[in-house]
C-alpha cells in the first residue's frame, strides 16, 4: 500500500511550497545535499538512518551501513539527474541503470487495487526497502503525469529540486526572485559586453 499522506503536515516535508502528496518526499530526498553550500545530510550512516526513521521509511531498530549510505547517495544522484532531464538537460547515461539497480535490490512488486492505480511496493527490508518506497513514488508520479513537473533549478550553483506548478510546465528556476534574477543579470552582462565589442 502507498504511504499514507497527511495533506496538512507530512512527516517528510520541509518546504512551504511542496510537491503534491508523496512526491514531496522525493523532492526532499534529492535536496538532502545543498549544492550551493555543500551541506550534506547523509554525511554518515547514522545520519542516514535517522533521516529514514524520522520519515517512517525505516523501523526504529533497523540499522544503516556504509554500504547503505553509498547506495543511497547513488540513488539520490540518479534522481537528481532525472530531474535535470525534466528541466531540459540531456539525461546522464548512468541515471536509469542506477535507478534500476536500486529497484532490483528493493525487490519491488506490483500491487493492484480495485479503485486506485497500480503501485510498486518493496519486498526487501532495511534501507533497500526504504529506498524502494521512494522509487515506488517515482513510479506512481510517472503514471499520474506529475513526475515531469519535478525539476532541479537550472541555476548551476543552486540545482535545488522544486515542483513546477506553472500551467505550461515552463518553470526553470526554484525561485524567480533569486535564481531567475541571477540568470537575468548574467544575460544582461553578456548583451552589454557583446554591444561594447561590436561598437569598438
Q: Which residues constitute the domain of residue 47?
A: 23-199
C-alpha cell at 92: 546522464
Is residue 44 assigned to a domain?
A: yes
pTM: 0.83
Residue 13 lies in a domain: no
Q: How confident is the model at residue 118 (pLDDT cuts 50, 70, 90)?
A: confident
Q: Is residue 14 part of a domain?
A: no
Residue 5 in any domain: the answer is no
pLDDT beyond 50 at 9: no
Average pLDDT over residues 103-112: 96
pLDDT at 16 over 90: no
pLDDT over threshold 50, residue 6: no
Residue 119 belongs to a domain with what CATH number?
1.10.3300
In-domain check, residue 4? no
Is 61 inside a domain boundary? yes
Number of structural domains, the chain? 1
Confidence of residue 62 (pLDDT cuts 50, 70, 90): very high
Q: Which long-range contacts (CB under 8 A, 24 or more apart) does 171-180 make?
A: 172/87, 172/88, 179/153, 179/154, 179/155, 180/155
Amino acid at each position: 500500500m502507498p504511504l499514507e499522506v497527511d495533506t496538512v503536515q507530512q512527516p517528510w516535508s520541509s518546504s512551504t511550497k511542496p510537491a503534491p502528496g508523496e512526491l514531496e518526499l522525493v523532492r526532499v530526498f534529492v535536496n538532502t545535499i545543498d549544492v550551493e553550500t555543500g551541506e550534506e545530510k547523509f554525511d554518515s550512516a547514522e545520519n542516514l538512518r535517522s533521516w529514514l526513521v524520522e520519515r517512517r521509511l525505516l523501523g526504529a531498530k533497523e540499522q544503516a551501513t556504509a554500504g547503505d549510505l553509498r547506495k543511497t547517495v547513488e540513488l539520490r544522484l540518479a534522481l537528481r539527474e532525472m530531474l535535470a532531464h525534466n528541466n531540459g538537460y540531456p539525461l546522464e547515461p548512468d541515471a536509469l541503470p542506477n535507478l534500476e539497480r536500486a529497484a532490483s535490490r528493493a525487490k519491488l512488486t506490483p500491487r493492484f487495487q480495485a479503485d486506485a492505480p497500480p503501485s510498486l511496493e518493496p519486498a526487501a527490508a532495511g534501507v533497500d526497502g526504504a529506498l524502494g518506497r521512494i522509487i515506488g513514488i517515482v513510479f506512481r508520479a510517472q503514471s499520474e503525469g506529475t513526475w515531469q513537473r519535478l525539476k532541479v533549478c537550472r541555476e548551476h550553483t543552486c540545482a535545488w529540486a522544486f515542483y513546477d506548478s506553472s500551467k505550461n510546465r515552463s518553470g526553470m528556476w526554484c525561485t524567480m526572485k533569486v535564481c531567475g534574477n541571477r540568470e537575468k543579470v548574467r544575460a544582461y552582462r553578456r548583451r552589454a559586453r557583446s554591444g561594447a565589442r561590436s561598437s569598438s
